[in-house]
Structure 1
């Protein structure tokens, strides 16, 4: 049962950006934190193991929405308590509900923690700086403060997409806390390809290259306008048509979970996660360049991970994320502690596309820790 329904006033569930010019939108958009809570509760009702859901309050009073799962079938709970917990960090625009195919299986042998990143899902949505390094630091600091508040000494840290980028940054700064780093289709690793200059010569090389026709002016103009907004602004701008937009443009989310829900539960969850104040989006936009690339690519920093830290990178074989970054990480670290694995018939959301294969691989990694 959600303890917040009895221990915190209802108005705490409805968090908006104070002073924002968009504060009138919630009356037009069919969303609220309460609706997100209701939709998420329907998803979490599928969990068979014991689950404790609550807000973890950080020193600055930001709150991180957190699930803790333990196996209620274990005869000796103390045995599971001694296992290194698995901590799962979702990707951009997601939340804890997206792990619904994985939480029960992965909590069979050890405690599992899943939380909504600061600025996403049901967690607090504070302002983020526009500087890439400072925005990243705010995310990473919130993860460390969350760890301290929960009382974890060590963890197996798993991050998907944006969560993989932030998990790597966290492991670089707090290596003693990470027993094994698992990156699932991580965002932000490769450097953005260099663009050839207008003269048709490679920068600094003086060699002729084929001239590429640039996009028309009208395309550049639209791109310039779109770049002024947060990535998911269209969902909020669509008002009452927002949920329909999510259904139309992300029908795959409905398909991935159709054996659990025969309605729009999962697309409604995605909608309510992203129709709130776009705090985490602001942080992501500060760190990103044209969405697909990080301003501070992780390949430039991955050598800062301790050589002894085990690292496993899981990619969907049909994902838009290029798994060659994983091979480059192996070369950079030059260590047997780095593994790259492809999961067949999986796209970017590996954990939902092939949950059984994903769970099996992650369980095996966890068992290798203890």
Structure 2
């Protein structure tokens, strides 16, 4: 039976590719007939995105401010990165937060107070996401990656930050590791939260049904979040239908359960700049064309790593063993947060915050590269559940 499945998939693959391209062309042609102005179909509003971000961040008690940082012609002619900062008067090493695919600064709302209680905190909308500029990235995977890295470095220079603790979630973890390899002098501690793009792509999906493989092939020409834009004004409803758990993660802190889905919609119904770059960097959704495990040994030995995963995340955790093997003379601490999925910072914010604060404490105590590797026990064991501008 498996042999027949493989044979069918081998024969059907070329046809599926052709049909997917035709389907893509038809969909966007129809959309152009329905709405000559693409943005009028996708109800993006800069003022709405600003308002939603402000309402979500209103739960953050620490005074904070938001501002654009002009980084110059990194990708486009005049790129700007939207930034929020907290407790910038503290003399301690700053903490810099890089979000994942399709996210933005407001999604750190459950974490910012805990972090800012001890040190300066900066969270940015990565170039091509959220409120930052939306330039056209290179279609070459390694070039697009380096454009992201250079945008973070130019941002650092503009803010005159000498060094910082760098936290990246998912795609942000992949970019954080790439940045640390290129600019080790600036990274005092690298924290990777359920990072995307680290392991090599597996050769075969042994247990995945044929129909799922077929759908994956059909969707391959699209950017990952194209469905949100195709849905147009129904985008927030579409997000709620495919990921009803997203709003629930913030339900305790936010009275209006629609704020998060509306925010995600406004972040992603714009021109898919950073999303397009992600598409260039990925080899199928779950893997990178240039996996980080191939080059993590290029990271300077004295840069400590804290690696954390959600126990129920779809991200492949196997890269942690490879990282340990390739960095035997470096400090690495690994956490698995029980009950958390991929969005560990929102699924289990208290556990996540404590792990980050512990990493900061290690940085304060000048942890050196010769410390033993540690695999931390699972944090905060709990019953697993299904994952389905300024304030002063």
Paired with 1:56 and 1:270, the residues of 2 have a C-alpha distance of: 22
Q: Give the superposed CA RMSD.
A: 2.0
Paired with 1:132 and 1:219, the residues of 2 have a C-alpha distance of: 23
Distance 1:334 1:46, change over 3 A: same
Distance 1:213 1:251, change over 3 A: closer
Partner of 1:13: none
Q: Which of 169, 180, 184 is the aligned partner of 1:160?
A: 169
Judge conservation of contact 2:42–2:270 (CA < 8 Å) in 1.
no
Partner of 2:116: 107
Q: CA deviation at 1:324?
A: 2.1
Partner of 1:67: 84
Distance 1:290 1:175, change over 3 A: same
The TM-score normalised by the length of structure 2 is 0.79
Q: CA deviation at 1:243?
A: 1.2
Judge conservation of contact 2:63–2:86 (CA < 8 Å) in 1.
yes
Paired with 1:302 and 1:368, the residues of 2 have a C-alpha distance of: 21
Q: How does 1:1-370 map to 2 (within 5 A)?
A: 24-60=37-73, 61-70=78-87, 77=89, 80=90, 82-195=91-204, 215=210, 220=214, 223-263=216-256, 264-370=258-364
Distance 1:228 1:213, change over 3 A: closer
Paired with 2:297 and 2:202, the residues of 1 have a C-alpha distance of: 21
Structure 1: which 5+ residue stretches go unaligned? 1-20, 72-76, 197-209
Judge conservation of contact 1:231–1:285 (CA < 8 Å) in 2.
yes
Paired with 2:170 and 2:99, the residues of 1 have a C-alpha distance of: 7
Paired with 1:190 and 1:219, the residues of 2 have a C-alpha distance of: 20
Paired with 1:213 and 1:228, the residues of 2 have a C-alpha distance of: 20
The TM-score normalised by the length of structure 1 is 0.84
Cα deviation digits, residues 15-51 of structure 1 (max 9, x gap): xxxxxx8981221222222211111110111111120
Paired with 1:147 and 1:123, the residues of 2 have a C-alpha distance of: 15
The alignment covers a number of residue pairs equal to 326
Distance 1:287 1:213, change over 3 A: closer
Distance 1:219 1:333, change over 3 A: closer
Paired with 2:309 and 2:68, the residues of 1 have a C-alpha distance of: 31
Q: CA deviation at 1:214?
A: 8.9
Judge conservation of contact 1:26–1:32 (CA < 8 Å) in 2.
no
Judge conservation of contact 1:118–1:142 (CA < 8 Å) in 2.
yes
Structure 2: which 5+ residue stretches go unaligned? 1-31, 365-392
